[in-house]
Amino acid sequence: MKKVALAAALAAAFAGGVALTEWREDARIARPVNAAAQAPAVAAPAATADTAPVAGLPDFSALVERVGPAVVNIAVAGKAAPPVQGPPGGLPQDPFEFFRRFQPQPGPDPGDDAPQRQGVGSGFIVSPDGYVLTNTHVVKGAETVTVRLTDKREFEARVIGADDRTDVALLKIDGRDLPSVRMGDPSRLKVGNWVAAIGSPFGFDNTVTAGIVSAKSRTLPSDAYVPFIQTDVAVNPGNSGGPLFNLAGEVVGINAQIFSRTGGYMGVSFAIPIDVAMKVREDLLAFGKVQRGRIAVTIQQVSKELAGSFGLDRPRGALVAGVEKGGPGEAAGLRPGDVILSVDGQAVEQSMDLPRMIGERRPGASVALEVWRDGKARRVDVKLGETPGEKVAAAEAPAVSKAAQLGLAVRPLSPAERSRAGGVPGLVVERADGAAARAGIRRGDVILAVNSEAVDTVEALKRLVDGARDRVAVLVQRADARFFVPVPLS
């Protein structure tokens, strides 16, 4: 009877609405803050399941009715690339998995000698005349791209252009007065805001999932150009390229990646901010490619120890480790040891902020850098060059097999870098973690050989490491010094 009375009292208290409370640590009880809540509770009629309001939870039904028709299903077909083999046990070696890895890939077509690649993704119409945004990895290598609307209309799409660095692609379908979305402002998003995703997970068209913004401006491995929006929205294979909406029904991002050790939803997903994607769209339409500024320097993160060495008040900025001969940075007077603190007054908090901030600006533009040198800040004006169109090798070498255990992202030496290195071939380390980092290999090192055999391509490095037993000896050049680094592969 006491339990029944207590339950009735609690039900009566909550029937009157949600009251703010304060926690009294000494009394171990929750006390009402507002005066109205201090009045004796009056039992209210029991609320039914049909009438009971749920305080604080948004209703997405009107939003979906309004914007759902502009979200499309994208089916692709083409020649299949060799299948990516995962590590033993079937779990991804790198938990940051692009959705492309999980798209269905049926066996060979009986009428063709080569296997056929078929996949499904999502996209959304950004203008009534038929321009569609999606992810590059959804349409990459496709021979045919079919866009299907919610009203069952189907269109053959043309790929206007695609940008690997941001993973944004622009398609065009022939239609008029098509349903389209409105663009929002990702900078106004706050951590904790409600957002919704619409897409085709596992091929289920126009599926709606919702959650909150978990973090902003996330930098992921090999994605220095995108300040990702992190959410806990359920996104899965097939959601790639679909829109992320705010409560106003505006697109604030493109769902692109998930953090997963199984290939499925684990509550951590990442979206490309829509302003980044729209810049890609504008450049593809205007120039046929994405134009990005470049100052041609090698940078590294400023640690607490390095900040103390340079006399900085705290770790911040991007430390210049190398300056390309003949590049814009050298012409402006940048030197190794400079710490770039800001770009046109915008603070550089982490080294990975700098590529994005410079890349957002047009080649030929001038930027004012605040540079820390010799214990004081100074201004350096740089006229930007243009970022080459080649891809970073890290994107070409999936993290698989023994080579993945090195934890390296590398690229071939440029002609200028090769000349400075004495004319020898090699690979520049763009990022080092895993076994290589533990062994002492660093960003900016040049890998010359593995087990005494010279390497000048990513494929050669992978072949030599995969062919090794339990360890490799990596010949590294750092500044003017050359030495072997033993790296265990277990």
Q: Which residues are catalytic?
A: 137, 167, 240
442 φ, ψ to 5°? -125, 160
CA dist 200 and 217 (Å) reads 26
Say how far residue 5 (Cα) sits from the centre of its chain.
Answer: 53
- Amino acid, res. 219: T
CB-CB contact of 339 with 348 (8 Å)? no
CA-CA distance, 376 to 102, in Å (whole number)?
51
Asked if residue 442 lies in contact with residue 431, where contact means CB atoms within 8 angstroms, the answer is: no
Exposure b/e, 243-276, CB count within 10 A at least 16 = b: bbbbeebbbbbbbbbbbbeebebeebbbbbbbbb
Cα separation of 78 and 162, whole Å?
Answer: 17
Spatial distance between the Cα atoms of 246 and 267, rounded to a whole number of angstroms: 18
- Within 348-457, where are the H helices? 353-359, 393-396, 401-405, 415-420, 434-439
Q: What is the rounded CA–CA span in Å between residue 75 and residue 87?
A: 28
- Token readout for 307 is 């900040």
Residue 446 backbone phi and psi in degrees, to 5: -110, 120
d(CA 271, CA 124): 14
Report the SS3 class of residue 174: coil
- Other C-beta atoms closer than 10 Å to the C-beta of 88 total 8
